Every structure is written in structure tokens, then in C-alpha cells.
């Protein structure tokens, strides 16, 4: 397989607060290939947004990337090496802050944020903001940048782009603002766009339109996407491959069809069961028990075990790293659950934990109940 | 255009407030216990006949609402009444004394804004560093120190001890260099500034301290905004973010505060004019009060209230100019 | 918001006191956690202690108020237990410089005023005047504002419209000017500290009314008010038992900050001669007197200003701390 566009290896981002160290992202690895839409799924607080901001090195104090390696088109966005005194230090080939700003942010990797209401500056015109980013990232003169901005507004389906160019964000509806943000991302002609829950704040109908728009534009421009979301439905619609995150870790990684039809991790399974579907009534919906623990003091062993219907005694002790559990279409299917044989942790012999799971929750290897 | 319509609407809204000011002043003036004429005459022995004549002259024998109607009718023609103490029309006196007060207040604001905005931004970007702590101490001292005492201390240091700046009076540039016997406009300008410096700082310190605090919190908040995150993610240089993206949004509350604090500044001007012997509206008011010159007191109060209302309207309009959400408010 | 929440949880019934107490303790804890607020509290406590002391010690009051001849009768002061401080009859000296000056004497650490009264004693006594003036006039504004604001916010509609227009109008006249005019008119031309206190208090009613009103508007929508209305409780009782107690916390913070503002304004009034009258040792009034001695006796202008500065700073620090402690955004 060709060299991936982006490779993340064992990325760790932590926040040093008064209350202690928060391991927001704790050793995640994934790849994004050219033209691919990769999902990053999980509940709020799982570390999805921190992970995506780490890719741009836009983690603000008290947060810091403390380990791992991020490679983009062969260049090192982040990397550590052992210094002469044995301490870890930043590698020489790592891009400087200035290089990150001028060469990577915007023109190579662009972002679409979650909240279209807040992401646009209220005191500048929509066109002015769009033009500024185009000027900056594509080295165009003011007039060309303006023409390009209007073209992009039209491209994302904003009617009367010439007129709306001069208008202010508050004159746009939520969906229209999100289109503007998409126009911004595409206008900079990046190779990768990080979409951080771009449809969460929108109505369902508008959400559908936006997803369709992105799908079309993605095909047209061939841009790769990292799509951050908590919504499995969106994942099913748009993603090629999916990473499921729980408490700073990737617990399952698979092509989208495998993830849905051959689920390998109980957490993914629970996510799928909690999702409303037309073929099931509300009574059949099965919310995940409990709330996600704080990343500041994660549970021992498998981090999901306190909420896991399949948890056994061994899950409290053994912390599983994601391992390849299956292969499909040349892509590996990874999961971090000891119930799979490759872990060989003695799951089958272990005693089940209290808090018996409900009817629908899967038996070992479950998830195929549809 | 939206802005023009907004301005007109704002002016119309101000009319009831202006009427209210006259009502309040009028009621206050008629609150005085005892006979106003006797008070005006300050205990001099006069015949009942004289008192009645004076009462008639000022219409004091008529009921209060009738007098108010007359007062308003005159006011609409620009007649604020007659000053007994000085035997001159109130309007003339007020117009003559408004210049110095305006000059003082406007320069105090200029001083406050020019110092407060950079210092507030500095404090916001160097949060919890020495620069921030110093700015917080300065702000705290600024809001806690009486302006007239600052004036006294400035006089003590710069006028009495060092002898470098004048301690009283102002030079009014509109009187021209010849009036003062200066060599020309450069000297006039120089002397104007020299005389203005101490009262300006004395009156402006409180405003500076208040604005600095607001600027700091607003900048901190603005810098945490999503639009700043977005600008960073698109590689906008940090300096541009500070000066353009975060700055403009943070200025909106500053404008509001400037307008509202105008009332403290106009009040403070009375004290500062007293300390520095400036012949403005404030000193005129004090003199009128000591002489119980009713019509003059009312006239000054109405004019100062009007100045405040106009000031607030100006700030509101400039707010609308910067923040498009105000004028286009209800479109969505 | 600590207090707000704990009260909203309850039904507004008998359990409220217990919860409010918990809220107070929590708030106090939060204030004490903050270094600056703690220092503010210390300063306020110190000033309160000093003013309480001066109320009890009658010798001190005789010394400070007394004309020059009274010094002869003065006996030793318990806290200033230095016999040499009480000058023997016939040796009263005015304008003695402070102790650090070459001509100074330890018996008058801050020197004496032109009448030969010990300046330190007068400054100490001034705390009582300032603090009581600040607290009493804030209380007037607070109580008046609470009634007006609660009525306005609770009834809404036309009552609210009229009251709020009135409030807006009063806002338009700078407080210092309104207070001067008001004080002079109600006193019939002979201003006095009592009139000043009343004047300041009444002028601040609209300020408090506005804050209370907005609090009431949010409380009014709560379920327990609906419940009380539905069960036929009289409006007056609802306001008294439910609306006012629940709108209290933010207004209290404001009141604390307002005490500082009030002291500042009354100092300005006294400085202009419209507040405390001689021989009352009010700090502002002392600055008025010292204004005439700026060239000869610098220190006369320094100490009262320092005293005002420290006192107001204390209230400001404490008020800021209280605000932070009650601010929902700083709580988790």
C-alpha cells in the first residue's frame, strides 16, 4: 500500500492541571490515506477533539503533546528522540512553529469546527474572512482572492454569493454558516481537512444536506477528511474507515462495513445499540450504562470494563492494546478487547463481573445480532 | 442605510429622557423648604412688597405645573432662564462655560483610552506575569483614589515641588494666541497642552483604571473565542490575531463603558475644575449653588444631563458602526 | 452560583435559612481562598475596628472635635498612652510637621493641623465618619432600591415601564451633580453631612432598583413563585418572602462595591464643602481645609487622601473577591 498521507503513531497529549495530569489522548495510532474519509468516533470527552488539534500542534497551555510521532507527507509534524543526556527532546526534522503556521495550517491541513455560530468573527464580513484565509494560504492578490472566495461560496451552495460576500455572519443561518466554513476549508486547497463535529450543532435536515455536500466535494477535489463525530449514523453515511475512541484510546479500528457488521469491541457494539434506527422502536434502544469516567483517573485494566456488559474479572487487571483481530479488503481490523483469542489473557476462564448486562447486549463476539 | 436609520431612532429614543431630566431638575428646585425668594435674598431684610414683586417677576406665585410649562416653552427657544446672581441669561453663561468642561472631559478620555487599551492588551497577553500584576495594581489604585486628591498630589509634585507645570486655569485655544500674548499658534498649542496635562490626568485616571480592567477581561475572553481558534488553524500570524481578530470584538464593551462612565467623568469634572481653578460648568454650578441661583442651577443640570445623553448616543452609534449586529439586528 | 442554586433547589420555604447559611459559609470560604479578597477583608475589618473604637472612646472624640482650648482638658488616651502627646495648656502649636520631618515631634506622628489639633487622631476619627456615611447611605439606596426594583420587576407592565423610565432619567444626571443639587435644595442652602447621606442614599436607589429588578425578573419565572401564586398567597407576601430573599446575593456584592463608591462620593462632597462641616474630622473635609495650605503644609493634603485610598481599596478588593466567589463562571 502507498505511503499514507498522514500517519499518527502512539500520540499522547496531556493536560497538566492543578487537579492532576489529564491523559486526554493516550497513545493513539492511525493513518489517513489520500482521498479517504476517516472517522474518529466516541462520546464527548473521549479525546477526539484534542487528538485532531494535536495534528495541527494547536494544543493550548496547560495541554501539551508529550509523546508519539505525527508524519504528514513525509514531514515530521511532531517527533521526539532521545537526547544525549537520555531525556526526550524534539527531533531536528520536526517542523518549526513558523513552518507549521505558514506551510501546514490552512494550506495543507484545514479545519471545520463544530460551532458555526461561534467560529465566524461577528464583526467582519463573511467574504472578508474567507478572503483573508485565501490570501494567506494561497498567495493570491486581493482581487483574485475575492473572486476565488465568491466562487467557493457558490460551490458550497450559497445563493447570491456576490451579495452574501458582503454580509455579516449573523445574517446567515446555522447551515449557511457551516457552508461558509466548508468553503473556507476547501478554498485553501488543503490535502486534508479535519472536520470536528461539523454537523452536531445543526438541524437533522441541514445535517443531511451538509453531509451530501461534503461527499460531493470530497469526490470532486479528492481531499482526505478526518471526520470527528459521536454519531454512528453519520459515520455510516460518510466514512471509509473508522477509529472508535474511548477515554483517550482507540479501542477499535476498522473499515466502516466491518465495524458495523462484524463489530469486535463491546464499546462499539454499545454505541451501535444506543443509536436510533428505523427498524427498531424506542423501547429497543439500549443506552450505554453509566457515564464515561474522567480521563484524569481512568479505571484499571480495560478502561471500559466498569460499563462493559461483557466484563470479566480479567478485564480489571489486563490493559489491552489494540491488536489485529481480523483482515478485510486489505485493511486490518483492530480491537482492544481481551475477549479475542489473540490477546490470550484467559478471558474465557475468567469470572464474569457483577451488573449483569441486558438482553440485547452481545455474548462474547457479539454485535452480529441484526 | 441601516446606520442612519439607527441614528435617527436613537435620537428619538432620547427625547423622553431629556424631558425627564427637566422634570427631575424642576422638581428638585421646588423641593426646597421655605420660601425660595427669601433663600435667594439670604436673610436680607426686605419688605413683603419686594418679595411679592420678585415672586411675580419669576412667576413663583403661579402653580408648579404652569411654571414648568413656561420653563419648557422657553427652553425650547433656547432660553434657560435668568441668573439672579449675575443678572445675565443662563444660556449665555452656560455656553461660555461649556467649552472648558468639554475640553477637560474629552482630553481625559483621550488620555484614558490611549493608556488603557495597550496596557489592558499587554496584561491580557501576559496573563499572570509581572506586567499583568503591575497593571492590576495600577487599576486597583486608579479606581480607589479620589480624583480630586490625585489632582492635589499632582499639583504638589509638578507645580509646587518641581515647578514644571501650571497648577491652575486652562488655556483655551479658541481664544487665539493674541488674547494670551503668545507668539503664535505653536506656543498656543504648547501652552494649551501644558495647562491641560495635570487636570487631564487627574480626571482620566479613574477612567483609565476602569477601561484597563475591562480591556483585559475582554481581550482574554476574545482570545479564547472560537474565531481565534479558527484563525490560528488557518495559519493567521499571532500578531494579526491580536490586532485584528481578537481586538475588534473586545472593543465593543469598551465603547459601552466609555458612554456610561461619561456620567462619572462629568461629575468628576466639578471636582477637578474646583481643584485646578478651571472656569467650566462645574465651577459655575458650585458658584450658583453657593448663591442659591435657582435658574442657573437648573440650567447647568439640564445642560450636563443633555451632554451625557448626547455622549451615550455617540457611543451607541460608534458601537453600531463596529458591530453590524446592532443595525441589522432583527434580520436572520 | 453558590447561594442562588442552593435556594433555587428549595421550595422557598422554611429550609431556606439553613441553605442560605451553607451558602454564606461557602462564599466566605471562597473569599478567603483568594489572596487579594482576603487582604480586602482584612483592610475592611481594620477600618471597621478603628471606627468602632473611635465611637467608644470619648476622649478621642473630644480631642478631634474640640477647639484648640479643649486640649487643656484632655486626659491621657488609653491606646495612645504617651503623656507627652497631650500638650500642656498654653503650648498648643498649629502646623507642626509629621514626626519624620526635622521639625517634627513624636507626640504628633502626623503633625498637627492649623488649629493645633493632632492630625493622627483626626485621621483615625475620620474612619468613623467615612464608614458610617458609606454604610448608612448605601443602606438607604439598598432598601429603597430593593422595594422599587422588586415592585417593578414583579408587577411588570405599566408600573415597570414608568419606574424604569424614571430610573433611566435619573441615570442621565451625573450622580455627583445630582447629589450636590439635591443636598443643597433639601437642606435649604445649609448643607450638612446628614443631608449628604440622605442625598447619596436616594440618588443610588435607581442603581439598586435596576439590579434588583433584573434579578427579580429571573426569579419570577421560577416554579415556586407560580406555586405560591396558584395557592393564593398575596402578592405582597410573595415579594417579601420569596422574591427578595432569592434575588439577594448579587445585590449584596454590588452593595459592598457601592460602599467604596459612596465613600468616594461623600469625600468629594465634603471636599467641595457640601458634606461634613467643620469641626467634624471627615477626610474629604480635611482635604478641603488643607487645600488652602498646599504651599506651606504639604502633609495636610497627603494623609487624608491616603486614608481614603486605603479604605476604598479595601472595599474594592473585598467586593471583587465576593464577586468572584459568587460568579457562576468561576465555580465549577
Query: Which range of residues forms the domain containing residue A270?
Result: 255-277+294-349
Q: Does B34 or A170 have the greater pLDDT score?
A: A170
Record: contact C309-B146, CB cut-off 8 A: yes
Confidence of residue C191 (pLDDT cuts 50, 70, 90): confident
Residue A226 lies in a domain: no
Residues of B within 8 A of A188 (CB-CB) are 234
Q: Is B243 on the interface with A (CB under 8 A)?
A: no
H or E element that contains A22: strand A20-32
Mean pLDDT of A7-25: 89
The residues in A 170-209 lying below 8 A from B, measured between CB atoms, are 170-171, 173, 181, 184, 188
Which of B18-32, B39-53, B129-143 has the highest average model confidence (pLDDT)? B129-143
- pLDDT over 90 (residue C63): no
Tabulate helix, strand, coil % of chain B (nearest 5). 80, 0, 20
pLDDT of residue B157: 92
pLDDT above 70: residue C85: no
Of residues C229 and C206, which shows the higher confidence score? C206
Chain B closest-CA separation from residue C299 CA (Å): 10
Higher per-residue pLDDT: C77 or A312: A312
Distances A187 to A144, A184, B175, C115 between C-alpha atoms, Å: 12, 5, 60, 81
Given a cut of 70, whether residue B170 has pLDDT beyond it is yes
What single-letter DSSP state applies at residue B173?
A: G
Distance CA A165, CA A129 (A): 9
Split into its structural domains, chain A has a count of 1
Query: What letter does residue A94 receive in the DSSP assignment?
Result: B
C and A touch with 3+ CB pairs <8 Å, answer no
Residue A96, judged by CB atoms within 10 A of its CB (0-12, 13-18, 19+), counts as exposed
Residue B252 sits at the chain A interface (C-beta within 8 Å)? yes
pLDDT of residue C20: 43
Q: Cβ neighbours of residue A360 under 8 Å, at least 6 residues apart?
A: A273, A284, A286, A369
- Cross-chain Cβ contact B332/A119 below 8 Å: no
The answer to whether the Cβ–Cβ distance between A136 and B332 falls below 8 Å is: no
Q: B58 versus B107: which is more confidently predicted?
A: B107
Q: Which of B237, B249, B325 sits opposite A170 (nearest CB)?
A: B325
User: Chain C: nearest CA to B280, how far in angstroms?
Assistant: 14
Q: State the pLDDT at residue C207.
A: 84
- Residue A168 pLDDT exceeds 70: yes
* Residue A324: band (very low, low, confident or very high) from pLDDT cuts 50, 70, 90: confident
Q: Does domain B98-322 have CATH number 2.70.98.90?
A: no
Of the residues C123, C161, C164, C172, the best mutation for testing chain B's interface (the one with the most B CB atoms within 10 Å of its CB) is C172
Q: Other C-beta atoms within 10 Å of A19: how many? A: 10
Task: Judge: B323–A123 Cβ closer than 8 Å, yes or no.
Answer: yes
Lowest mean pLDDT across A151-155, A188-192, A248-252, B10-14: B10-14
Confidence label for C27 from pLDDT (cuts 50, 70 and 90): low
Work out the average pLDDT over B116-145.
89
Residues of C in contact with B39 (CB under 8 A): 188-189
User: Which has the minimum average pLDDT: A129-133, A280-284, A343-347, B281-285?
Assistant: A280-284
Q: Name the burial class of residue A2, with classes exposed (0-12), middle (13-18) and buried (19+) by CB atoms within 10 angstroms of its CB.
A: exposed
* Mean pLDDT, rounded, of chain C: 73
Q: Which of residues 299-318 of C touch B (CB under 8 A)?
A: 301-302, 304-305, 308-309, 312-313, 316-317
- The fourth-level CATH superfamily of domain C33-330 is MetI-like (1.10.3720.10)
Between CA C197 and CA B268 the distance in angstroms is: 19
- Of A80-94, A112-126, B286-300, the poorest mean pLDDT is in A80-94
C-alpha distance from C39 to closest chain B C-alpha (Å): 13
Please judge whether A168 and B328 are an interchain contact, meaning their C-beta atoms are less than 8 angstroms apart.
Answer: yes
Mean pLDDT for the stretch of residues A222-248: 90
The model's confidence at residue B328, banded by pLDDT at 50, 70 and 90, is: low
> Given this model, what pLDDT does residue B209 score?
93
Work out whether strand A192-196 and strand A224-229 pair parallel, antiparallel, or are unpaired: parallel
Test C165 with B20 for CB contact under 8 angstroms.
Answer: yes
Question: pTM to 2 decimals?
Answer: 0.81
Among B152, B163, B280, most C C-beta atoms within 10 A, so best to mutate, is B152
pLDDT at C110: 75
Amino acid at each position: 500500500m502507498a505511503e499514507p498521507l498522514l500517519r499518527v503513531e502512539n500520540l499522547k497529549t496531556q493536560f497538566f492541571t492543578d487537579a492532576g495530569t489529564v491523559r486526554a489522548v493516550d497513545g493513539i495510532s492511525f493513518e489517513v490515506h489520500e482521498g479517504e474519509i476517516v472517522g474518529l468516533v466516541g462520546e464527548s470527552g473521549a479525546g477526539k477533539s484534542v487528538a485532531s488539534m494535536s495534528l495541527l500542534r494547536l494544543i493550548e497551555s496547560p495541554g501539551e503533546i508529550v509523546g508519539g510521532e505525527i508524519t504528514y507527507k513525509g514531514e515530521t509534524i511532531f517527533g521526539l528522540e532521545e537526547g544525549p543526556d537520555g531525556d526526550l527532546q524534539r527531533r531536528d526534522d520536526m517542523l518549526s512553529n513558523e513552518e507549521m503556521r505558514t506551510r501546514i495550517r490552512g494550506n495543507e491541513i484545514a479545519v471545520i469546527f463544530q460551532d458555526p455560530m461561534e467560529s465566524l468573527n461577528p464583526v467582519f464580513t463573511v467574504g472578508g474572512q474567507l478572503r483573508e484565509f485565501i490570501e494567506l494560504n494561497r498567495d493570491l492578490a486581493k482581487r483574485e482572492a475575492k473572486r476565488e472566495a465568491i466562487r467557493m461560496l457558490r460551490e458550497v451552495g450559497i445563493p447570491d454569493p456576490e451579495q452574501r460576500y458582503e454580509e455579516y455572519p449573523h445574517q446567515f443561518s446555522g447551515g449557511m454558516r457551516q457552508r461558509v466554513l466548508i468553503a473556507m476549508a476547501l478554498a485553501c486547497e488543503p490535502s486534508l481537512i479535519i472536520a470536528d463535529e461539523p454537523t452536531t450543532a445543526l438541524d437533522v435536515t441541514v445535517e443531511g444536506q451538509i453531509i451530501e455536500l461534503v461527499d460531493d466535494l470530497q469526490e470532486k477535489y479528492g481531499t482526505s477528511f478526518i471526520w470527528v463525530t459521536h454519531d454512528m449514523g453519520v459515520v455510516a453515511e460518510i466514512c471509509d474507515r473508522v477509529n472508535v475512541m474511548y477515554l483517550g484510546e482507540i479501542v477499535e479500528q476498522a473499515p466502516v462495513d466491518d465495524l458495523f457488521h462484524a463489530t469486535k469491541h463491546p464499546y462499539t457494539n454499545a454505541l451501535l445499540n444506543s443509536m436510533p434506527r428505523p427498524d427498531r422502536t424506542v423501547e429497543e434502544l439500549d443506552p450505554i450504562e453509566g457515564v464515561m469516567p474522567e480521563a484524569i483517573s481512568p479505571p484499571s485494566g480495560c478502561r471500559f470494563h466498569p460499563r462493559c456488559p461483557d466484563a470479566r474479572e480479567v478485564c480489571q487487571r489486563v490493559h489491552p492494546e489494540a491488536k489485529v483481530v481480523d483482515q478485510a479488503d486489505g485493511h486490518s481490523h483492530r480491537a482492544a478487547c481481551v475477549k479475542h483469542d489473540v490477546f490470550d489473557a484467559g478471558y474465557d476462564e475468567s469470572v464474569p463481573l457483577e451488573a449483569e448486562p441486558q438482553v440485547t447486549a452481545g455474548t462474547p463476539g457479539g454485535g452480529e445480532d441484526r | 442605510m441601516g446606520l442612519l436609520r439607527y441614528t435617527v431612532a436613537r435620537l428619538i429614543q432620547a427625547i423622553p429622557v431629556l424631558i425627564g431630566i427637566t422634570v427631575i431638575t424642576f422638581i428638585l428646585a421646588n423641593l426646597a423648604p421655605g420660601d425660595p425668594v427669601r433663600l435667594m435674598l439670604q436673610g436680607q431684610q426686605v419688605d413683603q412688597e419686594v418679595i411679592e414683586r420678585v415672586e411675580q417677576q419669576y412667576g413663583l406665585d403661579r402653580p408648579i405645573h404652569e411654571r414648568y410649562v413656561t420653563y419648557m416653552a422657553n427652553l425650547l427657544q433656547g432660553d434657560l432662564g435668568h441668573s439672579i446672581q449675575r443678572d445675565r441669561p443662563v444660556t449665555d453663561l452656560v455656553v461660555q462655560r461649556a467649552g472648558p468642561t468639554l475640553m477637560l472631559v474629552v482630553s481625559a478620555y483621550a488620555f484614558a483610552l490611549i493608556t488603557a487599551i495597550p496596557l489592558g492588551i499587554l496584561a491580557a497577553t501576559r496573563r499572570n506575569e509581572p506586567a499583568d500584576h503591575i497593571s492590576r495594581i495600577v487599576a486597583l489604585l486608579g479606581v480607589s483614589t479620589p480624583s480630586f486628591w490625585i489632582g492635589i498630589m499632582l499639583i504638589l509634585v509638578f507645580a509646587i515641588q518641581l515647578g514644571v507645570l501650571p497648577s491652575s486655569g486652562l488655556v483655551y485655544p479658541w481664544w487665539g494666541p493674541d488674547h494670551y500674548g503668545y507668539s503664535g499658534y505653536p506656543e498656543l498649542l504648547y501652552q494649551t497642552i501644558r495647562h491641560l496635562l495635570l487636570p487631564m490626568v487627574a480626571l482620566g485616571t479613574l477612567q483609565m483604571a476602569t477601561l484597563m480592567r475591562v480591556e483585559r477581561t475582554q481581550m482574554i475572553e476574545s482570545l479564547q473565542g472560537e474565531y481565534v481558534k479558527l484563525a490560528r488553524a488557518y495559519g493567521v500570524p499571532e500578531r494579526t490575531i491580536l490586532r485584528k481578530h481578537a481586538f475588534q470584538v473586545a472593543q465593543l464593551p469598551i465603547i459601552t463603558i466609555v458612554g456610561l462612565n461619561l456620567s462619572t467623568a462629568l461629575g468628576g469634572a466639578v471636582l477637578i475644575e474646583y481643584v485646578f481653578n478651571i472656569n467650566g460648568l462645574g465651577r459655575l454650578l458650585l458658584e450658583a449653588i453657593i448663591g442659591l441661583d435657582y435658574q442657573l442651577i437648573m440650567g447647568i443640570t439640564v445642560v450636563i444631563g443633555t451632554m451625557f445623553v448626547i455622549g451615550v448616543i455617540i457611543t451607541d452609534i460608534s458601537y453600531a458602526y463596529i458591530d453590524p449586529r446592532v443595525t441589522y439586528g432583527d434580520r436572520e | 452560583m453558590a447561594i442562588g442554586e442552593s435556594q433555587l433547589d428549595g421550595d422557598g420555604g422554611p429550609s431556606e435559612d439553613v441553605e442560605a447559611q451553607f451558602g454564606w459559609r461557602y462564599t466566605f470560604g471562597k473569599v478567603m481562598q483568594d489572596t487579594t479578597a482576603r487582604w480586602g477583608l482584612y483592610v475592611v475589618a481594620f477600618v471597621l475596628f478603628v471606627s468602632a473604637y473611635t465611637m467608644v472612646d470619648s476622649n478621642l472624640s473630644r480631642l478631634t472635635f474640640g477647639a484648640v482650648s479643649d486640649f487643656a482638658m484632655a486626659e491621657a488616651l488609653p491606646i495612645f498612652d504617651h503623656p507627652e502627646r497631650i500638650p500642656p495648656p498654653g503650648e498648643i502649636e498649629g502646623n507642626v510637621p509629621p514626626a519624620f520631618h526635622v521639625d517634627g515631634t513624636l507626640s504628633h506622628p502626623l503633625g498637627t493641623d492649623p488649629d493645633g489639633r493632632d492630625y493622627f487622631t483626626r485621621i483615625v476619627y475620620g474612619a468613623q465618619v467615612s464608614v458610617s456615611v458609606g454604610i448608612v447611605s448605601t443602606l438607604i439606596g439598598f432598601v429603597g432600591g430593593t422595594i422599587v426594583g422588586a415592585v417593578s420587576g414583579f408587577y411588570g407592565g405599566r408600573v415597570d415601564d414608568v419606574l424604569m423610565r424614571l430610573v433611566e432619567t435619573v441615570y442621565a444626571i451625573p450622580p455627583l451633580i445630582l447629589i450636590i443639587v439635591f443636598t443643597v435644595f433639601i437642606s435649604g442652602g445649609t448643607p450638612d453631612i446628614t443631608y449628604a447621606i440622605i442625598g447619596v442614599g436616594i440618588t443610588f436607589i435607581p442603581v439598586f432598583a435596576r439590579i434588583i429588578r433584573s434579578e427579580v425578573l429571573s426569579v419570577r419565572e421560577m416554579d415556586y413563585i407560580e406555586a405560591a401564586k396558584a395557592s393564593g398567597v398575596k402578592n405582597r407576601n410573595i415579594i417579601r418572602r420569596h422574591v427578595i430573599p432569592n434575588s439577594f446575593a448579587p445585590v449584596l456584592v454590588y452593595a459592598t462595591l457601592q460602599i467604596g463608591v459612596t465613600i468616594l462620593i461623600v469625600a468629594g462632597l465634603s471636599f467641595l464643602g457640601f458634606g461634613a462641616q467643620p469641626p467634624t474630622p471627615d477626610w474629604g473635609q480635611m482635604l478641603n481645609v488643607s487645600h488652602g495650605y498646599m504651599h506651606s503644609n504639604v502633609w495636610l493634603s497627603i494623609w487624608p487622601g491616603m486614608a481614603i485610598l486605603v479604605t476604598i481599596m479595601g472595599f474594592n478588593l473585598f467586593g471583587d473577591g465576593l464577586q468572584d466567589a459568587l460568579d457562576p463562571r468561576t465555580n465549577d
